[in-house]
Amino acid sequence: MTRYPDIPKPIRSGIVVVDPDRGTPQRIIVLQFNPDTLERSLSPQAAGGTGDAGGGGSGSGDRNEALRLKGPAQETWKFTAEIDATDQFEVAAPDGIHPELATLEMLVHPTTAQLREASRLTKKGTIEISPIEMPLTLFTWGSKRVIPVRLTELSVNESAFDVNLNPIRAALSIGMKVLSVSDLPAGHRGADLYMAHLAQKERLARAARSGGGLAALGIGGRGGVMGRS
């Protein structure tokens, strides 16, 4: 009998809701299918404006601030996730995919208990009521990407239903903002997790293979790239 090497089981991406004080997972959402694509955008937090401060240029920035950053880049992620109850015939789904959709939607909703408490404080005459604080949310894409996030977009396209009109197939467009140390208070568990994520980037950057020296760019020669003309 021909023996084949074991095929490793693919790791799923997902979302983990964490108690920020204890660090214990409150809810784990494993995406049924890994998204086919990830769209990521990074916007540097530059200290100065754009352009120069004179000398014939049209910019209004401070030359002394051109290479300075105020903090980590503002990073956003977007992807499409799919949920399909027909892919899991062995799992009973009397409510279709309502539970899975509700779990994701509760990431952007306060709970009824929180709303009732806010209403109670209003009726009591409390002058200032703090906005409702949500649990810490992490997005995981393998062991090298575990990042604190806030959902900024959740768009649901339901495309199939059972006889009771329960949705059984849907595509979800999910947008997230990565929460960095610029967004979270010092000592917050999410800030520590972001620092670990950034340290992972630094390790990966150091491991990158060099594509060649300056000669490969055509800027080698006497005096080097730092030489004056």
Average of pLDDT values for 50-73? 70
Q: 22 to each of 122, 146, 166, 179, 189, how far by Cα in Å?
A: 29, 18, 36, 19, 9
Q: Identify the residue whose tokens are 């204890």.
A: 22
HSE-CB for 221 with a 13 A CA cutoff? 6
pLDDT of 158 > 90? The answer is yes
Q: Identify the residue whose tokens are 């140390």.
A: 181
Average of pLDDT values for 56-70? 73
pLDDT of 229 > 60? The answer is no
pTM (predicted TM-score): 0.82
Q: Which two tokens stand for residue 4?
A: 């084949």
Mention every residue, 6+ apart, whose C-beta is less than 8 A from residue 220: 213, 214
Q: Residue 51: left (phi > 0), alpha (psi -120 to 50), or beta? A: left
The answer to whether the beta carbons of residues 60 and 53 sit under 8 Å apart is yes
The lowest-confidence range among 17-21, 24-28, 100-104 is 17-21
Burial class (CB in 10 A: 0-12, 13-18, 19+), 14: middle
Q: Residue 208: left (phi > 0), alpha (psi -120 to 50), or beta? A: beta
pLDDT of 141 > 70? The answer is yes
137 three-class SS: strand
Q: Which two tokens stand for residue 84?
A: 């399909």
How does the average pLDDT of the chain come out, rounded? 86
Angle at the Cα of 18 from the Cα atoms of 15 and 19, rounded to 5 degrees: 165
HSE-CB for 222 with a 13 A CA cutoff? 1
So what's the pLDDT on residue 8?
A: 74
The answer to whether the beta carbons of residues 34 and 10 sit under 8 Å apart is yes
pLDDT of 71 > 80? The answer is yes
pLDDT of 224 > 70? The answer is no
In this structure, what DSSP letter does residue 66 have?
A: T
Angle at the Cα of 122 from the Cα atoms of 118 and 125, rounded to 5 degrees: 140
Average of pLDDT values for 71-77? 95
Q: H-helix or E-strand containing 59? A: none
Question: pLDDT (tens digit, 9 = 90+) per residue, 188-223?
Answer: 999 999 999 999 999 999 998 877 788 888 887 665
So what's the pLDDT on residue 89?
A: 59
Average of pLDDT values for 105-134? 87
So what's the pLDDT on residue 53?
A: 47
